[in-house]
Amino acid sequence: MTKLLFSAQQLRWLLLLTSLLLAAGFVTPMLTLTKFVVVSNSFSIISGIWQLLQEGHIALFILVAAFSVVLPVAKIILLFNLLHPNTTEPKRRKKLLHLMHEYGRWAMLDVMIVAILIVTVKLGALASIKIHDGLYIFGLAVVLIMFITQQVVNYIESNINENN
């Protein structure tokens, strides 16, 4: 049996903190692109997604918005629901959480890394990229979501084992 590190209440508080970090990560500038030494543009996740939409890159807009904004927010909402007592039957909670954990593990990090890699490769000779706090804040929120998800898995498994 797995030892629980946190109670449900502590996990809810940690999830609230993570939600605030995620929101800050959405709007805090992540990087500044400087083209030809004189033109600089700073981007946050939200402003970058908005620019993709404005420039007509609909598929990329949907992909980045879904994986960088919608899925993390949906995962946090689901985690809050799973931590609330009596939301669903324990077996269904465990199945949903396992699916979310397995899918969410790669969803945010890989897309983010690939996006930064593409920008770096495409602009290497034409521009320089400076990383800002938004990248670290968003990255911390993503890692915390993954950690909390594992803790919630342990919490739910512990409750299921106690009820059987």
Min mean pLDDT across 35-39, 67-71, 112-116 is at 112-116
Helix (H), strand (E), coil (C) string for the chain: CCCCCCCHHHHHHHHHHHHHHHHHHHHCCCEEEEECCCEEEEECHHHHHHHHHHCCCHHHHHHHHHHHHHHHHHHHHHHHHHHCCCCCCHHHHHHHHHHHHHHHHHHHHHHHHHHHHHHHHHHCCCEEEEECHHHHHHHHHHHHHHHHHHHHHHHHHHHHHHHC
Report the predicted TM-score, pTM, of the whole model to 2 decimal places: 0.81
Q: 80 pLDDT exceeds 90?
A: no
Q: Domains, the chain, ranges and CATH? A: 8-159 (1.20.140)
Q: 111 pLDDT exceeds 80?
A: no
Q: What is the mean pLDDT of residues 19-45?
A: 85
